Amino acid sequence: MTAFTRILHDGQPYEQELEVVGKSGVHAWLLVHGEAIRNEDGAIVGLQGSAADITERKRMELTLLQQQAELEEAQRIGHTGNWHIDLATMQSTWSTEIYRMTGLDPALPAPNPEAQRDIFTPDSYRRLTDAVTQALGDHKPYYLELEYLKPDGSHGWMEIRGETVADHQNQIVALRGSVADITKHKQLQLRTEYLSKLYATLSECNLMLIRCDNDLSLFTGICEILAKTGGMAMAWVGLTDDVTGRIVPVAAYGEGLAYLDAIEISCRADDPHGQGPTGTAVRENRPFWVQDFQASMATTPWHGRAQQYQWQASAALPLCRNGKPVGALTFYSRKEDFFDEEIRQLLQEIAESISFGLDKIATDAEARMHEATLRESEQRFRILVEQSIAGTFILQDSKIVYANPRAVEIFGYKDYGELVGKPVLDVIDTRDHDRIASNMLRLLDNEIHRSDDLFTGLRADHTTVEVGSSSTLVTYNNAPAIIGIIQDISDRKVAENQIRRYAQRLEHTFFQTVQLATTISEMRDAYTAGHERRVAEIAVAIGGEMGLDQNRLEGLRIGGYLHDVGKIIVPAEILTKPTRLTATEYALIQQHAQAGYDILKEVDFPWPVAQIAQQHHERIDGTGYPQGLKGDSIILEARIVAVADVIESMASHRPYRPGLGIDKGLAEIERGSGTAYDPAVVEACLLLFRDKGFQLPPH
C-alpha cells in the first residue's frame, strides 16, 4: 500500500523519503510530508504537503552505511572487533567479529561485565577486572592478552585494548576498546616456547651424558631435566628384570611420584600389564604414544591410578644397550593430544641419546685404556727419538731449539743445554754457511720441500765432523720451523755402506715421523685410536689383491696413515661427541679432507699422499666431497682408501654408536658398488674378506 493510498484509507499524515530522477537523469532524495484536507463533514476532499531536498544528508547516510559495512568486513578479515560498555546501565555492545571469536550467538545481547566471567579462564578474568579497576582509577589505557573459552570447550586467545570515555564534565561514563583474535599467533608462540624448552632439554641431556659415569646418575639426571626443563608432569626410567619380565622403576622425578608405588608393569605379551606403553616399548623396541590416557584401551589397568594425578597423555620410549632394549623412559603430560610429530622426534632424540650414554658408560673403561695405550705409545716414540742413532734437530728463527742426545754427541757437547739456543751457523764451517743458509731460506719460502745436505760441522772442542742431513719445513709451537735428521759420515772407508744405511734409516725415520703424525691425531680422539693404521693395512691388502706393485703399495700405506690428518682442524669435543652431530658440526667435520690436502701438499712425497687425503671422501657418482669428483677423476689410491675407510669405520666403535661389525661394512660397499664405490675395488675387498678369510687388523 502506497503512502497516498494509506492516507486516503486511514486519513493519517505521512512522512516518506523518496528517490527521484530529474530530466537530466540525476538522482535526488526528497523528504515528503503529507496530510489529508477535510470538508466540514470530515470527509477527505484533498491532499496537501511539502517536500524537502535531503540528497546531501542521504548521501552522507549511505556513505556511513558503506563505511560501516567496510569496517565490519575489514574486522572480519583482520579478526578484530570493537566493544563498548555503558557504565550507567552496564550494557555491553559488541561488533559482529567478537561474536564470531567467542562463538556466541550475535542475535543475543552482548554479556555484561559480570557475565563475561564465563567467557574467560579464571586467571584471564582476574587480570581483566584488575586492569579495568586500575583504568577507572588512573584513566590510562590498558592492553592485555587473555585466554578465553568457547561454548564447544576449545580455547582461544584475544588481544584486548581498552580505555575510559568521559563526558563534557570529565566524568567517566563508559569503557570502549578493540579486540583482536591472536589464537593462531599465541598457539604458535606457546608451541615455539615449548619446543625451545625441549631443545634446551636435549642440550642438557647431552651435557648429562658427558658428566655421568654410571647408569643411575644418568637416569636420575635425565628424569629431572625432563620434568624441570622439558615440561613433563613426571618422568621415570624402568629396567627389565630378565627373570620375571617385570619393569622395575629405578629413577623418577616430578609430581605424583606415588603413582609408581607398587606399580605392576610387565614386558610380556601374555600379561595384561604388558600391553601398556612401557611394556610395549620394551618388548617391541619402538616408541609408544598415548594421546588420551583415559580413553586408551592400552592403559586400562592404570586408569584409576592415573586419574588421581590427572595424566592426560603418556609416552614410553625404549632404552637400549648395544642395540638391545633393557628398559624404557616413560613420561606423562596433563594435556591431551600433547605429542605432535616434532615433539615426538625431539623426545626420540633424547631417548636415543640416553641409549648412546649407556653404551658410552660401558665403553669409557675401554676408552681410558686406549688413552693409556696412546700415552705409552707417545712415551715409546719419545724414547725412540731420544735414543736414536740418528741425530734429530729442530731449527726456528735460525737457532737450534731442539736436539736429541745423538745430535748433541755428534757436535761434541756435554749436554742438551749447551747446544740448544745456539745460532745454527755456529756449528757449521764458514765454507758451508752460504749454501746451508740459502737452503734454509728456500725451505722457509716453500721454494723446496726438502733439503739433503753434506756439510762440515764444528764441534765444541773446535774439531770438525763431516755431517749428512735431511730436513723439511714444519710448524712448531704455532710457528714455521725446520726439522731434520743428521748423521756423522766422517768414516770415508765405509762411506758406501754408511750412505746406504743412512738412506734406510732416513726412510725408517720418515715412516716413524708419519706414525708420529698419526699418533698426535689419535691423541685428540681416543675413540678412533688405531683407525688410520687399520685403514692403511686394509688398503694395502686390497691394493695387493688388485696387483699393485710394491712402490705403489707403500704409497697406499702412507696415504692410509695420513688420510685423516686434516682432522687436526676439528675441535676435539666434536670428534668425541657422543651424540648425533648438528648440520654445522658435520659441515666442519667435512672440511678435514681439504685441510689434509693443504697440510700434505707441500711435502715432497714420491706418492700422491695429499690427493689421497683430499679425495678419500669423493664418490664414483659425484656425491662425495670436497670437490664432487666422479669416476676416474678420483685417483685409484683414493678409491681404495675410501672403501677401506668405510669398512674400518663401520666395524669399529664410535663415541656416538657401538661398532656395527664387518658384515655391515661389507654390505654397505656391496650396496654402493658402481655408485659410491669403485666396482673393482669393492670386488677385491669382498674377495679378501669373504673368500680368502682376511681379518680386520687388531685395535
pLDDT per residue over 208-234, tens digit each?
Answer: 777 777 888 888 888 888 888 877 889
Higher pLDDT, 364 or 83: 83
User: What separation in angstroms does the CA of 56 have from each of 26, 27, 68, 70, 322?
Assistant: 13, 11, 18, 21, 88
pLDDT at 682: 94
Global confidence as pTM:
0.38
CA distance 75 to 178: 10
CB-based contact 176:85 (threshold 8 Å):
yes
Q: Give alpha helix (H) positions in 567-699.
A: 572-575, 583-590, 592-600, 609-615, 636-651, 662-671, 679-686
**Mean pLDDT computed over 69-93:** 74
Please say if the pLDDT value at position 193 is more than 80: no
How is residue 410 written as a grid cell?
A: 755428534
Please say if the pLDDT value at position 159 is more than 80: yes
CB-based contact 560:644 (threshold 8 Å):
yes
Instruction: Assign a CATH topology to domain 387-490.
Output: Beta-Lactamase (3.30.450)
CB-based contact 127:148 (threshold 8 Å):
no
Same fold, 200-361 and 387-490: yes
**Mean pLDDT computed over 465-488:** 87
pLDDT band at 499 (very low <50, low <70, confident <90, very high): very low
pLDDT band at 572 (very low <50, low <70, confident <90, very high): low
CB-based contact 363:653 (threshold 8 Å):
yes
Which of these, 255, 383, 272, 351, lies nearest to 311 by C-alpha position?
Answer: 255
CATH architecture of 79-181: 2-Layer Sandwich (3.30)
pLDDT at 501: 61
pLDDT band at 141 (very low <50, low <70, confident <90, very high): very high
- Amino acid sitting at position 5: T
pLDDT per residue over 512-549, tens digit each?
Answer: 545 545 554 555 454 455 788 889 899 999 999 999 99
Q: Is the dihedral of CA 150, 340, 297, 292 positive or negative?
A: negative
**Spatial CB neighbours of 493, under 8 Å, sequence gap ≥ 6:** none
Of 53-67, 279-293, 391-405, 663-677, the poorest mean pLDDT is in 53-67
Please say if the pLDDT value at position 510 is more than 60: no
pLDDT per residue over 410-449, tens digit each?
Answer: 899 988 888 889 999 999 999 999 999 999 999 999 898 8
pLDDT at 378: 60
Please say if the pLDDT value at position 308 is more than 70: yes
Which of these, 10, 157, 16, lies nearest to 79 by C-alpha position?
Answer: 157
Percent of the chain with pLDDT over 70: 85
pLDDT band at 507 (very low <50, low <70, confident <90, very high): low
pLDDT per residue over 319-339, tens digit each?
Answer: 988 889 999 999 898 888 888
How is residue 293 written as a grid cell?
A: 590416557
- Amino acid sitting at position 507: E
Give the number of other Cβ atoms within 10 Å of residue 480's Cβ.
15
Domain boundaries, the chain: 3-53, 79-181, 200-361, 387-490, 514-691
Instruction: Assign a CATH topology to domain 200-361.
Output: Beta-Lactamase (3.30.450)
Q: Is the dihedral of CA 372, 378, 381, 385 positive or negative?
A: negative
Please say if the pLDDT value at position 496 is more than 60: no
pLDDT at 653: 62
pLDDT at 76: 62
User: What separation in angstroms does the CA of 18 have from each of 23, 25, 49, 58, 273?
Assistant: 16, 15, 14, 10, 83
Q: Give alpha helix (H) positions in 292-340.
A: 303-307
- Amino acid sitting at position 548: L
Greatest pairwise CA separation for the chain in angstroms: 167
Q: What is the DSSP letter of 581?
A: P
pLDDT at 500: 60
pLDDT per residue over 93-122, tens digit each?
Answer: 888 888 888 888 888 888 888 888 888 888
Q: What is the DSSP letter of 214?
A: S
What's the angle, vertex CA 653, arms to CA 647 and CA 657, rounded to 5?
110
Q: Superfamily assignment of 514-691 in CATH? A: Hypothetical protein af1432 (1.10.3210.10)
* Domain 3-53 = CATH 3.40.50.12780: no
Which of these, 116, 162, 115, 154, lies nearest to 138 by C-alpha position?
Answer: 162
Please say if the pLDDT value at position 679 is more than 90: yes
Burial of residue 107 (number of CB atoms within 10 Å: 0-12, 13-18, 19+): exposed
Q: Give alpha helix (H) positions in 261-387.
A: 277-284, 303-307, 341-386
